[in-house]
Amino acid sequence: MRNLIKYTALLVFTLMFVGVSISQEKEITISGTLIEKATSQPIPYATIVVKDLDTSNVFVGTTTSDKGEFSLTTKEKDFLVEISFMGYSTQVISDFKIENALLDLGTIELESESQNLEEVEIRGEVSKTVFKLDKRVFNVGKDLSSTGMSGLEVLNNVPSVNVGIDGDITLRGGAGVQILINGKPSVLADESSNALGTITADMIESVEVITNASAKYEASGTAGILNIILKKEEKKGWNGSITANTGYPYSHSVGLSLNRRTEKFNLFTQMGGGYRSMPRISETRNFNKVTGETISSEGENFRNETFFNITLGTDYHINDYNVLTLSGNFAYEIEDQPSETNFKYLDANGDLISSWTRNEVTDAINPKWQYDLNYRKQFKNNKDHTLQVSGLGSFFGKDQSSQFTSRTISGLEENRDQKTATNFNKVDYTFKADYMNPISKEFSLEAGSQYEINNVGNDFKVEDYTNGEYVIDQSQTNDFEYIQKVLGVYTTGAYEKDKWGVKAGLRVENTELNTFLVNTNEENNRNFTDFFPTLHTSYKVSDKISFQAGYSGRIYRPRLWDLNPFFNISNNFNVRAGNPNLQSEYTDSYELTSIYRIGKASFSSSLYYQYTTDVIERVSTIEDNTVFTRPYNVGTNSKVGFETNGKYIPTKWLTVNADFNFNFFDRKGEFENQNFNFSGSQWSLNLTPKFKLPYDIDLELTGRYQSGYETVQGEVSDYATLDFGIRKKVLKGKIMLNLSVRDVFESRIRENFVSQDTFDNYSFGQRQRQISFGISYGFGKGEAMNYTGRRR
């Protein structure tokens, strides 16, 4: 009995010792989420390592996911956690508490290496780019040259994006860009208006550049997608900022951002209003090779706008898992567009036949409004398990009248007095549903649908002054009706491990398009269904280099102004019009991206290839010395390109950002028995050094170069520009004074040359240098002037 007790006690002691040993060797799970301090954006592919507390030897490591999350395990007891990512200061965590073998580090903020601790209050001011699996996020800061900028000018500062002198937007040199506001189509992004000009830089939080979109996004846009995210602050209490800008040529605006956050509600508003004058110098020359005659013009036109824009909205937090958002936007523009153009008509010997002046007086009012209802549900089992349903409606109208008068200076009498009237209405509806389910730690599933309706009416009338009265020109007058309905359904699946991840998806879209010319009773009806597969993958080689690869199918559907055959006669010898028979473009897009760090420099480089069929090209023809430019489907285009974005921080007072893009294209096509086969290339370079000077003064220069390139009928010239900005902080940063000069040397010009067997056409356009001065003030809780509309 005594031995039984002894052995029993020994067994219990042994089991207790083993249990303690096992418990001591039990694995500890370490987890957390990594975000950028200045923007609260998640940081993907950052390095997390567990090191020995005394020797700094590495025990185990991992990288953050696309959402900035990480998780790893260790059996060690004495350790520290080190977090690093290129371009950011390394953070070491050694003071923590482990409970039940779990170490939850929560949300960890990393700071950019370009600022030190004394500069924390201005971290949100410099624009930065964050890389994600299928997109890049350009966080819009208070860059110096952004003073007084409109939404279009902000886009021109985004890497890979170029905004032409006439507001045309390209991505990596390609047209066909789909522009979204807060992830949805919007009246503010409508190319038929100038609404992006009514959004100020202070209203924009970030721009998502999606060159190779996943199936979640609609397939429109062969060049890619630009998603503009507007600010919406959510700090409790009253928060806001106010800005005022003035400049030359006349450009005056006031902007206000205001937010009120309570326990259940988040009320937010953005307001902007002002006046601006946009003068433009233009030249054209038509040379008829058959008759030897030439018609040339030189002129200056203005687009004077008084504008107002207001966004109002509220988030209602029903509970911790359900949020209802209702928002609305209203914009109103009053346009005045005076111009004067001098014409000369020369015979084959270069002798003057006649000369005259054509004056235009155009007035227009453009009301725009939009409303958006959004419901978001977060499931209790996982914060990323969500359902989001939304409905959006918008309207854009234009009531415009133009009066053209001619005055003969010498030679033959030229009486080309005309009047035009435009009554334009566009109504859009978009309904969306998106479901996201992280089924396990490695696997997630997405599914959703979108139904979009576009309904447009454009009643356009031209009257010619004949025999003392105005008579309707039936050949240029018509009522164009356009209705497009697109239903899209998608699903994606993603599998992601510590070093490797893959995401595949499929999107199916059915398009119903109907156009109708009322006066001539011409209609064109189409109904087609397309399948768009997508595939994205990423691989982490080391803490200094990682790779991403992607494929997507894209479509560019002809838009209203591509299809409307009656468009613009401001210069009645150079007329642009649409083509109602235009077909859609289709593109297969492939991309390989590397993200790497070399010393004090960090880079992202991409190699891409795009193959497009039924390419839409604007083709010019000549009739009676008048050049008509219309879009047509002309063959195929193969494009291979290389792009790299980099940041170099040699010292605390200097940061250099650069963006370089080069592509080579091979065009094959035929139009009206004319061979359009040719090859060419184009490249662009943006370089921005930023200097931190004494007395709280910051200085930046932005240089841009866009090479010339060959077109199907001629070529477009190159140009180089320089922007300058300087900023001074007052009252410890609560007040900011900004001065900017855009296009310092007035070198941003656009020249287009067309050379054909029967004619030559030359066009030139230039806008003036812009000088702006701004003052801004922030109030409320938090960072005062550093209001950046950070996401909750």
* Cα-based angle 172, 176, 178 (whole degrees, multiple of 5): 95
Residue 488 CA to residue 557 CA, distance in Å, equals 14
Q: Is the pLDDT of residue 167 over 60?
A: no
* Within a domain: 444: yes
Helix (H) or strand (E) holding 17: helix 2-24
pLDDT, residue 290, reads: 93
pLDDT, greater one: 236 or 730: 730
Both 198 and 283 in one domain: the answer is yes
Q: What is the mean pLDDT of residues 133-155?
A: 64
Both 582 and 631 in one domain: the answer is yes
Both 202 and 56 in one domain: the answer is no
Q: Is 468 exposed, middle or buried (0-12, 13-18, 19+ CB in 10 A)?
A: exposed
* Within a domain: 125: no
Quick check: helix, strand or coil at residue 249? coil
C-alpha dihedral (690, 692, 696, 699), degrees to nearest 10 = -30
* Within a domain: 124: no
* Within a domain: 237: yes
pLDDT, residue 120, reads: 28
Q: What is the three-state SS of 675-726?
A: ECCEEEEEEEEEEEEEEEECCCEEEEEEEEEECCEECCCEEECCEEEEEEEE
Q: How confident is the model at residue 199 (pLDDT cuts 50, 70, 90)?
A: low
Both 677 and 616 in one domain: the answer is yes
Q: Is the pLDDT of residue 399 over 70?
A: yes
pLDDT, greater one: 118 or 422: 422
Q: DSSP alpha helices (H): ranges in 496-655? A: 560-563
- The enclosing domain of 68 has a CATH number of 2.60.40.10
Instruction: Tell me, rounded to whole angstroms, the distance of Cα 372 from its chain centroid.
Output: 20
* Within a domain: 791: no
Q: Is the pLDDT of residue 210 over 90?
A: no
Name the DSSP letter for residue 150.
B
pLDDT, residue 257, reads: 75
**Are 678 and 703 within 8 A, CB to CB?**
no
Q: Give the domain extent around 19.
A: 2-110
pLDDT, residue 667, reads: 93
**Are 717 and 750 within 8 A, CB to CB?**
yes
Q: Is the pLDDT of residue 89 over 70?
A: yes
Q: What is the mean pLDDT of residues 186-208?
A: 60
Q: 526-566: per-residue pLDDT in tens? A: 999 999 999 999 888 877 788 889 999 999 888 877 888 87
Q: 317-363: per-residue pLDDT in tens? A: 888 888 888 888 888 999 999 999 999 999 999 999 999 999 999 99
How many beta carbons lie within 10 A of that of residue 748, not counting itself? 23
Looking at 110, 125, 152, the residue that finishes a domain is 110
* Within a domain: 751: yes
How many beta carbons lie within 10 A of that of residue 407, not counting itself? 12
Q: Is the pLDDT of residue 1 over 50?
A: no
Strongest mean pLDDT among 86-95, 250-259, 635-644: 635-644
Both 343 and 427 in one domain: the answer is yes
pLDDT, greater one: 778 or 586: 586
Q: What is the mean pLDDT of residues 645-663?
A: 86
Both 70 and 165 in one domain: the answer is no
pLDDT, greater one: 693 or 170: 693
Q: Is the pLDDT of residue 472 over 80?
A: yes
Both 69 and 144 in one domain: the answer is no
pLDDT, greater one: 552 or 110: 552
Q: How confident is the model at residue 141 (pLDDT cuts 50, 70, 90)?
A: low
- The enclosing domain of 202 has a CATH number of 2.40.170.20
| Concatenated DSSP letters of 379-447 | -TT-TT-EEEEEEEEEEEEEEEEEEEEEEEEEES-----EEEEEEEEEEEEEEEEEEEE--SSSEEEEE
Q: 3-27: per-residue pLDDT in tens? A: 443 444 433 333 333 343 333 446 8
Name which of 221-230, 367-376, 396-405, 585-594 the model is least confident about: 221-230
pLDDT, residue 188, reads: 53
Both 45 and 155 in one domain: the answer is no
β partners of residue 69: 33
* Within a domain: 13: yes
**Beta strand segments in 5-90, E:** 28-36, 47-52, 58-63, 69-74, 79-84
Strand pairing report for 204-210 and 177-181:
unpaired
How many beta carbons lie within 10 A of that of residue 430, not counting itself? 20
pLDDT, greater one: 448 or 145: 448
Query: Nearest-CA neighbor of 668 among 659, 677, 658, 657?
Result: 677
Sheet holding 224-230, edge to edge: 128-131, 136-139, 204-210, 224-230, 177-181
pLDDT, residue 616, reads: 92
Q: 256-314: per-residue pLDDT in tens? A: 877 776 777 777 787 888 998 888 899 999 999 999 999 999 999 988 999 888 888 88
pLDDT, greater one: 490 or 204: 490
pLDDT, residue 193, reads: 41
Both 25 and 167 in one domain: the answer is no
Structural domains of the chain, count: 2
pLDDT, residue 785, reads: 31
* Within a domain: 117: no
Both 635 and 713 in one domain: the answer is yes
Q: What is the mean pLDDT of residues 757-783?
A: 81
pLDDT, residue 673, reads: 81
The torsion angles phi and psi of 656, rounded to 5 degrees, stand at -120, 125
C-beta contacts of 156-159 below 8 A and 24+ residues apart = 157/127, 157/702, 158/207, 158/209, 158/226, 159/129, 159/209, 159/645, 159/659, 159/686
Both 688 and 648 in one domain: the answer is yes
pLDDT, residue 115, reads: 35
The residue type of 77 is: K
Both 50 and 149 in one domain: the answer is no
In residues, how long is the chain?
792
Q: What is the mean pLDDT of residues 67-95?
A: 81
Q: 424-466: per-residue pLDDT in tens? A: 999 999 999 999 998 888 899 999 999 999 999 989 999 988 8
